[in-house]
């Protein structure tokens, strides 16, 4: 059976940005233009006046930020669009990195006022490593910001990617008149309207026409003519093959909060974005058209519905056809599992589905069978690769404040770390638990969720470590001796899979240990576990 038609209709992408660039707002406006929702939330001054559709956790609504990846699907232009809205905050970057393994392309949102920021550069490094196609949306053009050409130069220099504007802004801030669409020679006039979805397009085949002055005024019309001539002379035409190879990024300008510039972005994305591609396993690549179903878990979320203590594993379908109530093979634990109520998501709402194809993201009720990176197949024994854990930067001991709730705390911290909120390490003696994170905000989220979802109260005691390294060695005796010595000194902990991990208090000490123990490999991420399976 051929799945080509279904696969060709899938467009699965992630939206990434620095915090406050307008990523979640853009996500909602894409849903509005796609007819998936009727009203959008608004985020103002980090206070939610009307909760954003894709921010469903209480702590997200209180803080006005996204701390977990949301999954949303809708139909547009005859295509099945799957959006993964990721956290922008750097403390939750690892959730975003994992999400990027489950998408085929990304839309990067840039704040025209701030330009390229540090977190944007880190996110793009991951995209560049995976040669992922990128479309850039420069947001907030209705505010005074950097010059458009300055922004394009900054994008190319800091993100190491060629760019090609497909629309061009006329004016900025309170003088923002609209955008000229270079690909179809039309002018879209701006009006500050958060409710209106239609575009006022005026066909402009010849930029020398007087119609331009009538709508823009003489000064703006002359500037547009000069800018378009410069663009066509400096920037190469968009080559779709180069875009799909991650070598060039189309650029659009607009204002997400005012629904402006969204439709041309969405229309172009549907036209040029890649369909699902083959994915690497420890037994070679698996193509989407492979007739047998396969997929991998890239995210786990407990208590998605606060009224029910559920646990949802998010699965990216990679090949074949997923079917409800059919038995599939859990490769890691060798079990056969059946799913009665697989779900497609629209942020916090969900609907039972009967089937899914390569490119789709579905939610599976989980009773504790899954870990991030697990593979499901129809019986074949291979594992999808590329979902590593990275070395945390902050380490704190978990301290129970209510001994009567020890079981709740134990269950809660294991479920939360299974989700990837943070990493859990345990000392072999005394069951002392160490939580490793990228930033302080993750500890706040853990504390909040343990109390509100598991009725367990805790605090955290800082520990003087800076790096965690997974250890491997061909000489088992040498590794055992190193672990024995460092374990007595408090430097050895174990991850959830019982792999030994060395905690280093400084980069200098880590370098010294690496020099003194050349036979031992110190891994700064857990990718080696996938390669060793």
pLDDT at 309: 56
The length of the chain is 533
CATH number at 438 reads 3.30.70.3280
369 and 399 fall within a common domain: no
* H helix and E strand count, the chain: 15, 33
pLDDT at 273: 94
The residue range of the domain holding 399 is 394-532
Q: Residue 405: is its pLDDT beyond 90?
A: yes
pLDDT tens, position by position, 140-171: 998 998 999 999 999 999 999 999 999 999 88
Task: Specify the pTM.
Answer: 0.79
Q: What is the mean pLDDT of residues 96-118?
A: 88
**pLDDT > 70 in the chain, percent:** 85
On whether residue 25 sits in a domain, the answer given is: no
Round to whole Å and give the CA distance between 69 and 201.
34
On whether residue 168 sits in a domain, the answer given is: yes
Q: Residue 200: is its pLDDT beyond 90?
A: no
Q: What is the mean pLDDT of residues 424-446?
A: 87
Greater confidence, 416 or 35? Answer: 416
CATH number at 350 reads 3.40.50.300
- Determine which of 18-32, 63-77, 406-420 has the lowest per-residue pLDDT on average: 63-77
Greater confidence, 67 or 282? Answer: 282
Say whether 304 sits in a helix, a strand or coil: coil
342 and 435 fall within a common domain: no
On whether residue 383 sits in a domain, the answer given is: no
119 and 164 fall within a common domain: yes
User: b/e map of 132-171 (b: 16 or more CB within 10 Å)?
Assistant: bbbbbbbbbbbeebbebeebbeebbeebebbbbbbbbbbb
357 and 332 fall within a common domain: yes
Backbone angles phi, psi at 373, to 5 degrees: 100, -10
Round to whole Å and give the CA distance between 196 and 180.
19
398 and 370 fall within a common domain: no
Greater confidence, 68 or 219? Answer: 219
* Most confident of the following: 44-53, 207-216, 342-351: 207-216
Average pLDDT over the chain, rounded to an integer: 84
Give me the number of domains the chain comprises: 3
Round to whole Å and give the CA distance between 448 and 452.
6
268 and 294 fall within a common domain: no
On whether residue 323 sits in a domain, the answer given is: yes
Of the residues 272, 299, 328, which one is the last residue of a structural domain?
Answer: 272
pLDDT tens, position by position, 277-321: 999 998 899 999 999 999 999 888 765 455 545 678 889 999 999
Of the residues 322, 346, 377, which one is the last residue of a structural domain?
Answer: 377
Of the residues 346, 377, 408, which one is the last residue of a structural domain?
Answer: 377
Q: Residue 340: is its pLDDT beyond 80?
A: yes
Greater confidence, 90 or 361? Answer: 361
Residues 6+ apart with CB under 8 A from 409: 398, 400, 402, 450, 454, 456, 458
- Determine which of 243-247, 250-254, 444-448, 462-466 has the lowest per-residue pLDDT on average: 444-448
Q: Residue 515: is its pLDDT beyond 90?
A: yes
- Give the confidence band of 65 by pLDDT, cuts at 50, 70, 90: very low
- Give the confidence band of 42 by pLDDT, cuts at 50, 70, 90: very low
On whether residue 352 sits in a domain, the answer given is: yes
- DSSP string for 32-49: HHTTS-S---EEETTEEE
Q: What is the mean pLDDT of residues 335-339?
A: 94
Task: Say which residue the tokens 């060709």 belong to.
Answer: 8
On whether residue 292 sits in a domain, the answer given is: yes
Bin 22: left if φ > 0, else alpha if -120 < ψ < 50, else beta: left
- Give the confidence band of 270 by pLDDT, cuts at 50, 70, 90: very high
On whether residue 327 sits in a domain, the answer given is: yes
310 and 451 fall within a common domain: no
251 and 322 fall within a common domain: no
252 and 283 fall within a common domain: no
334 and 252 fall within a common domain: no
148 and 190 fall within a common domain: yes
On whether residue 53 sits in a domain, the answer given is: no
122 and 207 fall within a common domain: yes
Residue 225, CB-side half-sphere exposure with 13 Å CA sphere: 15
């Amino acid at each position: 059976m051929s799945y080509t038609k279904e696969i060709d209709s899938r467009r699965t992408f992630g939206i990434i940005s620095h915090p406050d660039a307008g990523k979640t707002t853009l996500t909602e406006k894409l849903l509005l233009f796609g007819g998936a929702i009727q009203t959008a939330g608004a985020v103002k001054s980090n206070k939610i006046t009307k909760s954003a559709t894709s921010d469903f956790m209480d702590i997200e609504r209180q803080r006005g930020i996204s701390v977990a990846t949301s999954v949303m699907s809708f139909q547009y232009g005859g295509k099945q669009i799957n959006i993964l809205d990721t956290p922008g905050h750097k403390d939750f970057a690892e959730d975003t990195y994992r999400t990027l393994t489950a998408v085929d392309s990304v839309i990067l949102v840039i704040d025209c006022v701030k330009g390229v920021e540090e977190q944007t550069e880190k996110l793009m490094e991951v995209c560049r490593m995976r040669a992922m196609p990128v479309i850039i949306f420069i947001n907030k053009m209705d505010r005074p910001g950097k010059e458009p050409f300055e922004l394009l130069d900054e994008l190319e220099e800091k993100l190491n990617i060629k760019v090609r504007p497909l629309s061009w802004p006329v004016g900025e801030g309170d003088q923002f008149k609209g955008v000229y669409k270079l690909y179809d020679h039309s002018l879209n006039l701006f009006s500050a309207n958060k409710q209106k979805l239609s575009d006022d397009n005026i066909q402009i085949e010849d930029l020398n026409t007087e119609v331009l002055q009538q709508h823009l005024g003489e000064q703006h019309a002359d500037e547009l003519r000069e800018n378009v001539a410069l663009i066509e002379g400096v920037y190469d035409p968009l080559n779709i093959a180069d875009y799909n190879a991650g070598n060039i990024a189309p650029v659009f300008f607009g204002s997400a909060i005012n629904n402006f510039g969204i439709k041309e972005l969405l229309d172009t994305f549907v036209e040029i974005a890649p369909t699902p591609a083959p994915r690497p396993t420890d037994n070679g690549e698996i193509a989407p058209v492979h007739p047998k179903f396969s997929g991998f878990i890239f995210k786990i979320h407990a208590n998605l519905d606060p009224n029910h203590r559920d646990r949802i594993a998010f699965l990216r379908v990679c090949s074949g056809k997923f079917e409800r109530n059919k038995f599939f093979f859990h490769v890691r634990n060798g079990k056969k599992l059946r799913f009665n109520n697989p779900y497609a998501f629209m942020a916090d709402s969900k609907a039972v589905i009967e089937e899914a194809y390569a490119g789709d993201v579905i939610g599976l009720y989980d009773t504790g069978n899954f870990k991030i990176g697990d593979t499901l197949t129809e019986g074949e024994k291979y594992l999808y690769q590329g979902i590593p854990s990275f070395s945390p930067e902050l380490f704190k001991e978990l301290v129970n404040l209510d001994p009567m709730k020890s079981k709740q705390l134990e269950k809660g911290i294991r479920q939360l770390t299974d989700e990837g909120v943070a990493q859990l390490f345990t000392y072999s003696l005394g069951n002392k638990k160490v939580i490793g994170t990228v930033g302080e905000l993750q500890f706040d989220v853990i504390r909040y969720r343990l109390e509100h979802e598991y009725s367990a109260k805790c605090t955290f005691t800082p520990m003087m470590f800076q790096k965690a390294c997974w250890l491997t060695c061909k000489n088992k005796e040498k590794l055992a001796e190193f672990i024995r010595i460092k374990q007595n000194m408090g430097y050895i902990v174990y991850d959830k899979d019982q792999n030994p991990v060395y905690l280093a208090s400084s980069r200098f000490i880590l370098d010294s240990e690496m020099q003194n123990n050349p036979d031992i490999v110190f891994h700064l991420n857990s990718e080696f576990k996938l390669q060793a399976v």
